[in-house]
Amino acid sequence: MATLNKSVPLSTYTQFSRDEWAKLSKSTSEVLTPIEREQLGGINETISADEVSDIYLPLSQLLYMHMKHSVTLHENVGSFLQKKTKKVPFVIGVAGSVSVGKSTTARLIQALASQWPNQPKVDLITTDGFLYPNAVLNERGLMKRKGFPESYDIGRLIRFLYELKSGRAYIEAPMYSHLTYDILEDTVQKIIEPDVVIVEGINVLQVNKKDRRIPQVFVSDFFDFSIYVDAEEEDIKSWYIERFKVLRNTAFQQPASYFHRFRHLNDSEAYDFASDIWATINGINLEKNIRPTRHRADLILKKGAKHRVEEVHLKKM
């Protein structure tokens, strides 16, 4: 029997080929313009019109169905209990490896969800903002484990999600700069009365097993729907290396960049350096901490070459 991993049978999911999934959408109109698709794309990741119509439009319609059900259930329960309460945001989690394209997936969902019939206010939060500052990571000897579970202030992230699901009208989220590779000390993201919130990050489906000082509440406990973006490791590694090469010629050229010292690497040196980072950090994190959470997602997008989604696995209800 095919498996997602050794302990979770694939039969817990309904599997769709790309063609099968694409047929689920009833719409044939182009919902995002070429300019919008270009703006939403990632480094070395272009978004084709077919990818939007075949994969993300059916996904958006499925998410809208879940969101409508959540609203209806809230109204019906409120009527039953004879107590009117404010509907809290519908929260979507997006997980996956470094360089797999989860940020692009999250941005696409945000763009499409904003076009739902009720035109909801949709905010996107990345868990990078909940990393400990570099000063703290250096003090704790964790700079080479940045992205591993222990490098995040999970308590702060949990508190943020508690506030979100408690219905607070205004919340602040910390922000992260990929240029300086550190937390932005004096900048916050303001979350004001959202209808939908997307929480994206490599750690959003992980559970805290080591630190018993933290209450056993997990980030995913606050999700109404969760997505894992998947691909073969060799493909992800290749995308990571190519992204590093692009950044070497762009962002790394800026004096403010944390990686400015690597701007003069030639192609061979850049390949070797990025490959070493993958082998000693990102690949280990993927194997030990990220991929084992895949089976906890409600839906898995399985990518092939060039970031093209080839299969969709939807957890049975």
DSSP 235-287: HHHHHHHHHHHHHHHTGGGSTT-TTGGGTT--HHHHHHHHHHHIIIIIHHHII
pTM of the model: 0.93
Question: ∠ CA 27-31-36 to the nearest 5 degrees?
Answer: 160
Residue-wise pLDDT tens for the chain (317 aa)? 455 555 555 578 999 999 999 999 877 677 899 999 999 998 888 899 999 999 999 999 999 999 999 999 999 999 999 998 889 999 999 999 999 999 999 999 999 999 999 899 999 999 999 999 999 999 999 999 999 999 999 999 999 999 999 999 999 999 999 999 999 998 999 999 999 999 999 999 998 666 566 558 899 999 999 999 999 999 999 999 999 999 999 999 999 999 999 999 999 999 999 999 999 999 999 999 999 999 999 999 999 988 999 999 999 98
Q: How many CA atoms lie within 13 A of 224 on its CB side?
A: 24
DSSP state letter for 205: T
Nearest of 74, 10, 3, 31 to residue 315 by alpha carbon:
10
Q: Are 209 and 150 in contact (CB under 8 A)?
A: no
CA 108 to chain CA centroid, nearest Å:
11
- Report residue 159: phi and psi, to 5°: -60, -40
C-alpha–C-alpha distance, residues 166 and 87, integer Å: 9
Q: In order of start, what are the domains of the chain with their CATH numbers?
A: 10-315 (3.40.50.300)
Predicted pLDDT of residue 207: 85
Nearest of 102, 2, 108, 139 to residue 303 by alpha carbon:
102
